[in-house]
Structure 1
């Protein structure tokens, strides 16, 4: 089963610019991508990168510099969607995703959706040739409406591991506490640690 992984190495994790340097943001985004690709493969998906520039990854890739919605919809247009040839779309910053959580995308339904905590769509799988994405704003609600409007059956996946995308400084605590892959290792290597003093959990760099 194919899984498309959008990745933007040229402008990674801009909301972490107050915490990480540009080079660090790129390295951290790369580490998260490593975790996502490994989890997809362990869940018997065939990952394919949809990237804004060429990478040296050992995965097939399509370079598309267009905005996310346009690039993903072009990939959906090119895929022969159907019950026997679904396509998953999994974001590259799901550092907590596990093979078991990703396997839930295989569930029944023409369109299977996993929401992000802020109302976005962190992962989906579609078997419906008429379904197209729109990643602007609260995209999860838009995708629900689009699927139902197309007459597709919808299954919603409620998973904290898939709902947690890593965008801001506070999200780093999730990786340090719950992660066990390359992204956590990278944070530890550059000195990040969880501070639970004072009754609040925060993330800081050790001196």
Structure 2
């Protein structure tokens, strides 16, 4: 099997702009990407591809293969799946809480497809044993869509329910989860810029 990570560094993570500058966001997403790659490698995934519209930020990448595709995310991934001759795990690049144990649990599924739902109806990870017979459709409520696609193509689905694997870093409040539950370079980066602010309400981050 192999893993593919869709990735775009240019103008990354605009929803984090209230708390991080463009330069900081681009540095941050690169750290998260490398952390996800390291997690996959530690879990025993030998072949890892990065699918990106440009080489920006990937010029010196040696830990994974870089595949360029300027098309829309869905078109690029579906083209990738069409050419795959082995099971494929599609992993988003903003999952710094993902662990090797999660990856091993996902790929050990006895079902045809294993889906890790993200917040707000998204899809964080999609493991497909027969990729040539499956087409993805991200954006919107992609979790429900991907469940329906599997059902309509006669493939059984397992839902991998995990708070940590299901936490993608998109919004400022997501950084709180990284600060509390995370480790590694992504957390270290955020820890240098923020501190936890604890009150009677929800835990928040405040500038250092």
TM bin, normalised by shorter chain, reads over 0.9
Partners of 1:11 and 1:89 in 2: CA distance: 22
* Pairwise CA RMSD: 1.1
Partners of 1:25 and 1:170 in 2: CA distance: 15
Partners of 2:207 and 2:48 in 1: CA distance: 33
Other-structure match for 2:180? 177
Other-structure match for 1:30? 30
Other-structure match for 2:195? 193
Other-structure match for 2:13? 13
Partners of 1:198 and 1:47 in 2: CA distance: 44
The alignment of Structure 1 onto Structure 2 pairs a total of residues equal to 201
Superposition TM-score, scaled by structure 1 size: 0.94
Partner SS, residue 173 of structure 1: helix
Following superposition of structure 1 onto structure 2, how do residues 37-186 of structure 1 map, counting pairs within 5 Å?
Answer: 37-45=37-45, 46-54=47-55, 55=58, 56-58=60-62, 59-80=64-85, 85-106=86-107, 107-128=109-130, 129-186=132-189
In the TM superposition, what is the alpha-carbon distance from 1:51 to its structure 2 partner?
1.3
In the TM superposition, what is the alpha-carbon distance from 1:199 to its structure 2 partner?
3.7
Say if 2:2 is the partner of 1:2: yes
**Which consecutive residues of structure 2, in runs of 5 or more, have no partner in the other structure?**
none
Partners of 2:163 and 2:105 in 1: CA distance: 12
Task: Give structure 1 regions of 4+ aligned residues with deviation exceeding 3 angstroms.
Answer: none
In the TM superposition, what is the alpha-carbon distance from 1:136 to its structure 2 partner?
2.2
